[in-house]
Amino acid sequence: MTTLETPPPDASGRPTAPLPPVPPPSPSAPSPAAQPLPLPRTPKVRTAEVLVGFWAFFVVVVGLWIGQGGVRDLSAGWTPAWTSISQITGLLASALGLAGLVLVARLRCIERRAGLDHVFVWHKWLGSSMAILVGLHVGASLVYWSDGQSLWQSLVDLTGREPYMAGATVGALLVALVTITSIRSIRRSLSYETWYFVHLTAYVGLALAFAHEVVLGGHFTGGGAAWWFWVLAHVAVVVALLWGRWGRLLASMARPLRLTSVQPVAPGTVEIRLAGKGLRHIEADAGQFAILRPLAARLWWQGHPFSLSAEPTTAGLRFTVKDRGDASRAITELPIGTRIAVEGPYGALTPDELDPHRRLVMVVGGVGVAPARALLQRLPRTGPGDGPIVLFRARSTAELVHFDELRALAQARGGTVLTLVGPSATLAVGDPFSADSLRSAIPDVAERQAFVCGPERLIAAARSGLRAAGVPHSCIHFERSWW
């Protein structure tokens, strides 16, 4: 495996001049007076508890449908049977929609356990399942309403008669739009912001669906337990969204931090520091990321996630930002003093997730180095051989962002940094993350836990190599790409 500690080769694979000596502990080290910020205090719920909560909700939904004769109607003739199918598919679609919204409410207790990336993946599964059920619900409704007429006539009749049904039809179309624009190949052709704002129309879709459920749903007419259950479920989800999603966003805008420095660290990459009174409201740990929203013209309406690249302290927060598009470039060019709303931090990959009894290997690429560097700061010092090994993949030495800091931090903890530099085609081995390559670079890799952070392809390659090299699945920590 092409792993060297120093000097790393340049982009052509030739060794470069030796790197300058390791600097004294990180140039970004906080001033002596700086104290670590309080760690996130919200207790983490277990994944099993979240699943039990969701299943209990679905059981009540189905139970209420059964209690109102849902199963009996299935064998009571054509119209009652299709009406019943329409009801249960509609109810389950709404239940999945509500569960999906609870997830994107970003409740700390769930997010701290699972990480926003996993929460979004679950949200996506729920959203896709909901879209299928909405399709079945619309189909079943048209069948029972058709009564000898064509499905198209039935649709016109059904939606034309009742304003709530017209609203529900618009809601179903919005759900379809959100689902289609979330298909990976279509989503990739949209900008993040276009996809995001289209996605927000799902809220309107669910609100329109709610109105037709509680006013027209045979299940709910006349009030009763089902009506109350459904209304309270919707109210609870709205409160969760207002509190967790929109409340937190507004709070971050109300008490922004200020940009105190911008330092180039590599071509197209800068480290930025934020400080200010708003820090006293922030609980954060190394390994986390925050959604940054510069309160400047043309930027205030979009937030972008960036990982902390240093342990968060009372002196401020540090991020490493690579110019990848309009917003990240604009952040690298902001004037000092710009107010920046910091939402979060989020992320479950904090030091408390690491097993204190296992040695650590970090596989990082590109600006994935940011959370790795922050995590290293929080690791205890160990004897030589027991320390963390960092495998740093980059296409050129210029992309070895924070290399000196990383090396100083790793060495101070009895560890080391191995670099793997060069375009893929010039690497000495075909697959630098194959089990053999990993074992030859790190003989005890199977006994280690792994932290992987970088582009999607690096994460996929490193995960499969680490698994093949014998690292248990539960010992490989990584953050998925979001969308």
Question: Where along the sequence are the contacts to ligand FAD (CB under 6 A)?
Answer: 191-192, 289, 304-307, 319-322, 324-328, 367, 370, 479, 482
Q: Please, what is the minimum distance in Å from the beta carbon of residue 326 to ligand FAD?
A: 5
Q: Of the two residues 227 and 300, which places its CB atom closer to ligand FAD in the complex?
A: 300
Q: Of the two residues 140 and 266, which places its CB atom closer to ligand FAD in the complex?
A: 266
Q: Of the two residues 55 and 482, which places its CB atom closer to ligand FAD in the complex?
A: 482
Q: Of the two residues 96 and 272, which places its CB atom closer to ligand FAD in the complex?
A: 272
- Are the C-beta atoms of residues 151 and 196 closer than 8 Å to each other? no
Q: Please, what is the minimum distance in Å from the beta carbon of residue 347 to ligand FAD?
A: 7
Q: Please, what is the minimum distance in Å from the beta carbon of residue 353 to ligand FAD?
A: 15
Q: Please, what is the minimum distance in Å from the beta carbon of residue 369 to ligand FAD?
A: 8
Q: Please, what is the minimum distance in Å from the beta carbon of residue 108 to ligand FAD?
A: 16
Q: Please, what is the minimum distance in Å from the beta carbon of residue 447 to ligand FAD?
A: 28
Q: Please, what is the minimum distance in Å from the beta carbon of residue 178 to ligand FAD?
A: 17
Q: Report how far residue 282's alpha carbon sits from residue 289's, in angstroms, rounded to the nearest whole number.
A: 12
Q: Of the two residues 247 and 455, which places its CB atom closer to ligand FAD in the complex?
A: 455
Write the secondary structure of the chain as one string of H (helix), E (strand) and C (coil). CCCECCCCECCCCCECCCCCCCCCCCCCCCCCCCCECCCCCCCCCCHHHHHHHHHHHHHHHHHHHHHCCHHHHHCCCHHHHHHHHHHHHHHHHHHHHHHHHHHHCCCHHHHHHHHHHHHHHHHHHHHHHHHHHHHHHHHHHHHHHHCCCCHHHHHHHHHHHCHHHHHHHHHHHHHHHHHHHCCHHHHHCCCHHHHHHHHHHHHHHHHHHHHHHHHHCCCCCCCHHHHHHHHHHHHHHHHHHHHHHHHHHHHHHHCCEEEEEEEEEECCEEEEEEECHHHHHCCCCCCCEEEEEECCCCCCCCCEEEEECCCCECCEEEEEEECCCHHHHHHHCCCCCCEEEEEEEECCCCHHHCCCCCEEEEEEEHHHHHHHHHHHHCCCCCCCCCCCEEEEEECCHHHCCCHHHHHHHHHHCCCEEEEEECCHHHCCCCCCCCHHHHHHHCCCHHHEEEEEECCHHHHHHHHHHHHHCCCCHHHEEECCCCC
Q: Please, what is the minimum distance in Å from the beta carbon of residue 480 to ligand FAD?
A: 9
Computed on alpha carbons and rounded to an integer, the radius of gyration of the chain in Å comes to: 26
Q: Please, what is the minimum distance in Å from the beta carbon of residue 123 to ligand FAD?
A: 14
Q: Please, what is the minimum distance in Å from the beta carbon of residue 42 to ligand FAD?
A: 19
Q: Of the two residues 307 and 397, which places its CB atom closer to ligand FAD in the complex?
A: 307
Q: Of the two residues 321 and 364, which places its CB atom closer to ligand FAD in the complex?
A: 321
End-to-end CA distance of the chain: 32
Q: Of the two residues 118 and 439, which places its CB atom closer to ligand FAD in the complex?
A: 118
Query: What would you measure as the largest C-alpha separation in the chain, in angstroms?
Result: 85
Q: Please, what is the minimum distance in Å from the beta carbon of residue 115 to ligand FAD?
A: 9
**Cis before 371? omega within 30:** no
Q: Of the two residues 320 and 449, which places its CB atom closer to ligand FAD in the complex?
A: 320
Neighbour tally for 436: CB within 10 Å: 13
Q: Of the two residues 210 and 319, which places its CB atom closer to ligand FAD in the complex?
A: 319
Query: Which single residue brings its beta carbon nearest to ligand FAD?
Result: 325
Q: Of the two residues 378 and 439, which places its CB atom closer to ligand FAD in the complex?
A: 378
